[in-house]
């Protein structure tokens, strides 16, 4: 699952991107750092040695899988670009085969490559046109079907892997969820043009005066389930109807409130994996302040919001990971 959105630009120019990560708890996740000058090489099948290689121009902070700092599935760089890998199931992700011509990247290498070498969405578009993304199992027992949502302060795109080839789609909403493809989600928004923040006025019809029962009636019909199409509509509506934040703090706090509205607790969604039912929950959420160069997160077991100021990170030291807190406590007060 997962949801991604770009908050409205704040009055002071701040741009914040929010993301939820939904999956059964179990994929080892740490905070990863890749320095400027980091040399990367795409994964290759056994017996193949030729794949895409690069040297990073920008430092990166993000969420790393299996304690490998370069295996990022969420992150931002020192140029203010963020990239987020979201699940794309049900036949909506078709990776091509490995070519062996020096253009190959596995899906788990994409974020490290693009954030390391690209300073804008325009740069990402150019770099993506030169990469061949093939499917690799990083240790999950299957090849994860993904698409990538990319943002800078001015624009957003989605990188999708369709049967006819890789597709880079402009995303004017800055919102992304899961299957189907982005163009379908954008068309589907036409079904919800009646959503509004203002209360509806009473009407007289059929000899009756009909009035709404309470506040929030302008959002009647907004999807409340957790399917990808419904979360896309709900998130787009939440962003579109929310106030313009005043500054950086307000933009981050407002984004956090929208993330709260998307949170999935234990027990609400279950699916069968490896022959047993497992919960799919919001494992962590992240905020990427693209203009303030701040990366924030909290985890399923710790409600504390942790903040990384990219300006304070040592991007000259080697690539590394840092453990994250998964067991927080409530803060006691003595009134």
* 65-78 tens-digit pLDDT: 999 999 999 999 99
Could you tell me the residue ranges of all domains in the chain? 3-196+225-322
Q: What is the pTM of this model?
A: 0.95
Rounded Cα gap, residues 36 and 44, in angstroms:
24
Does residue 26 have a pLDDT over 80? no
Has residue 158 got a pLDDT over 80? yes
pLDDT higher than 90, residue 199: no
pLDDT tens-digit profile of 80-113? 999 999 999 999 999 999 999 999 999 999 999 9
- What does the pLDDT average to over 254-279? 91
Q: How confident is the model at residue 238 (pLDDT cuts 50, 70, 90)?
A: very high
Residue 314: the pLDDT is 97
**Range in 215-219, 231-235, 289-293 with the lowest mean pLDDT:** 215-219
C-alpha dist (Å) from residue 36 to 58, 73, 232:
5, 19, 35
The pLDDT value recorded for residue 164 is: 96
Q: Residue 182: CA atoms inside 13 Å, Cβ hemisphere, count?
A: 26
Work out the pLDDT band at 150, boundaries 50, 70, 90. very high
For the chain, give the mean pLDDT.
95
Q: How far apart are CA 59 and CA 54, in angstroms?
A: 13
Question: How is domain 3-196+225-322 classified at the architecture level of CATH?
Answer: 4-Layer Sandwich (3.60)
- What 3 state SS string does the chain have? CCEEEECCCCCCCCCEEEEEEEECCCCCEEEEEECCCCEEECCCCCCCCCCCEEECCCCEEEEEECCCCCCEEEEEECCCCEEEEEECCCCCCCCCCCCCCCCEEEHHHHHHHHHHHCCCHHHHHHHHCCCEEECCCCCCCCCCCEEEEEECCCCEEEEEEECCEEEEEECCCCCECCCCCHHHHHHHHHHHCCCCCCCCCCEEECCEEECCCCCCHHHCCCCCCCCHHHHHHHHHHHHHHCCCCCCHHHHHHHHHHHHHHCCCCCCCCEEEECCEEEECEEEEEEEEECCCCEEEEEECCEEEEEEEEHHHCCCCCCCEEECCCCCCCCCCCCC
Contact 301, 276 (CB under 8 A): no
Number of residues in the chain: 335
Nearest to 5 by CA among 268, 285, 324, 309: 285
Query: Residue 159 and residue 166: Cα distance in Å, rounded?
Result: 7
Nearby residues of 329 by Cβ (< 8 Å), 6 or more positions away? none
Residue 141: pLDDT over 90: no
pLDDT for the residue numbered 129: 95
């Amino acid at each position: 699952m997962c949801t991604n959105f770009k908050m409205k630009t704040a009055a002071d120019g701040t741009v914040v991107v929010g993301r939820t990560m939904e999956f059964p708890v179990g994929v080892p996740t740490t905070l990863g750092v890749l320095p400027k000058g980091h040399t990367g090489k795409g994964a290759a099948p056994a017996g193949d040695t030729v794949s895409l290689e690069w040297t990073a121009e920008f430092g990166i902070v993000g969420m790393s899988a299996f304690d490998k700092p370069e295996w990022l599935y969420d992150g931002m760089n020192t140029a203010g670009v963020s990239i987020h890998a979201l699940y794309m199931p049900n036949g909506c992700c078709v990776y091509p085969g490995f070519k062996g011509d020096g253009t190959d990247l596995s899906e788990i290498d994409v974020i490290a490559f693009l954030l390391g070498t690209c300073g804008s969405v325009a740069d990402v578009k150019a770099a993506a046109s030169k990469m061949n993304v093939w499917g690799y199992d990083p240790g999950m027992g299957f090849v994860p079907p993904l698409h990538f949502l990319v943002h800078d302060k001015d624009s957003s795109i989605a990188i999708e892997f369709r049967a006819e080839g890789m597709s880079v789609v402009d995303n004017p909403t800055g919102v992304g969820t899961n299957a189907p493809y982005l163009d379908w989600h954008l068309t589907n928004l036409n079904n919800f043009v009646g959503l509004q923040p203002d209360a509806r006025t009473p009407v007289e019809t059929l000899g009756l005066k009909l009035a709404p029962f309470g506040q929030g009636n302008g959002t009647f019909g907004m999807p409340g389930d957790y399917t990808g199409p419904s979360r896309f509509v709900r998130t787009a509506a939440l962003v579109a109807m929310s106030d313009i934040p005043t500054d950086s703090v307000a933009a981050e706090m407002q984004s956090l409130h929208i993330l709260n509205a998307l949170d999935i607790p234990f027990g609400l969604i279950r699916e069968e994996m490896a022959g047993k039912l497992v919960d799919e929950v919001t494992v962590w959420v992240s905020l990427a302040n693209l203009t303030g160069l701040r990366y924030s997160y909290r985890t399923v077991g710790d409600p504390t919001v942790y903040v990384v100021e990219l300006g304070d990170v040592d991007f000259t030291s080697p690539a590394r990971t840092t453990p994250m807190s998964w067991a927080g406590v409530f803060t006691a007060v003595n009134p």
